[in-house]
Amino acid sequence: MAIRRSIIRGTGHYLPERVVENSHFEETLETSDAWIRDRTGIERRHIAAEGQTTSDLAIRAARAALDNAGMTADQIDAIVVATTTPDLTFPAVATMVQAGLGMQRGFAYDVQAVCAGFVFALSNADGLIRTGQADRVLVIGAETYSRIMDWTDRGTCVLFGDGAGAVVLEAVDQPGTTDDRGILSSDLNSDGRYRDILYVDGGVGTTGTAGCLRMQGNLVFRHAVEKLAKTAHTALDKAGLTPADVDWLVPHQANMRIITATAQKMQLPMDKVVLTVADHGNTSAASIPLALSVANDEGRFKEGDLIVTEAIGGGLSWGSVILRW
């Protein structure tokens, strides 16, 4: 029996012009390029210009994805944006993207699951397509984490960067087998008991300010390695597949040590892992769509490749999506 699947038709990304090398932090913090590289794998990151907002980045990534898909904004039914750093408390960044693209139809909204946001948004958009509420959905991850950094905190400020990535999903009927193209399964999780190990110390209902990111890095690392491998296995099981079937792992680009440990737990060689963390740092909800877009631009994916995406973020929230290119 035919199944309605969500196929990626196009990818796109945008990175701010300003590039900050690790050596920049040597001027103000007790750190070094070697220390940052050794512990994180990060070499540089992009930082948004003054006045450049999350929606600005998202609009540019969206236009690139539409161009890559050979589509125009008036062919899109819905926009879902994953972000933790919206321009305003409301309206949603997605509505700003809608206006920026000149799209006067459909609907748009944001999803907030921190670094796992794009996985949640992708699963959500797949649900819209599977239930017939939309035929084409623009899914975006966009962040300006530089706005919530404590630039005196060596443990966090060297990790994050700004950027945006986007994919265009389109409904296509498939035979309903494990060989189908498109999104095959997803697995989403959260556990609010761990909110204090990764959070922002501000908000509308508390301080009335944006606040700054706070993290207990060692605890986050331990949870990340365990939970990322488990969610990937769970999603593969749901799809009737195994790690041996995987062609590419496109993980949240948080930390090279986490990525390596997760790949090892999944018994995947590193030449099957898409890596952008060295050049982008941790761009939170933007990291997976950025990595997908970069790899697609490089021609690394071929039709029929099985791809695992997985991420973990504050909440704690974590999950994975299995898709065939």
What pLDDT score does 34 carry? 96
As a whole number, mean pLDDT of residues 193-201 equals 97
CB 284 within 8 Å of CB 116: no
- Say if CB 293 and CB 13 are below 8 A apart: yes
Helices and strands: H and E segment counts in the chain:
9, 13
- The structure tokens listed for 226 are 């365990």
Q: Which single residue is written with the structure tokens 């990060």?
A: 42
Please provide the DSSP assignment of 39-68 as one string.
HH---EEEEPPTT--HHHHHHHHHHHHHHH
Model confidence at 120: pLDDT above 90: yes
Q: Tell me if 137 sits within 8 A of 77, measured CB to CB.
A: yes
Mean pLDDT of all residues in the chain?
Answer: 97
Confidence at residue 257, expressed as pLDDT on a 0 to 100 scale: 96
Note the pLDDT tens digit of each residue in 48-98.
Answer: 999 999 999 999 999 999 999 999 999 999 999 999 999 999 999 999 999
pTM: 0.98
The alpha carbon of residue 8 and the mean position of all alpha carbons in its chain are separated, in whole angstroms, by 15
pLDDT exceeds cutoff 90 at 237: yes
Q: What is the DSSP letter of 75?
A: G
Q: Is the pLDDT of residue 307 over 90?
A: yes
Rounded CA gap, 286 and 180, in Å? Answer: 26
- What is the token pair recorded at 299? 């021609």
Q: Active-site positions?
A: 115, 252, 282
Check whether 1 has a pLDDT greater than 80. Answer: no
Tokens of 13: 């990304």
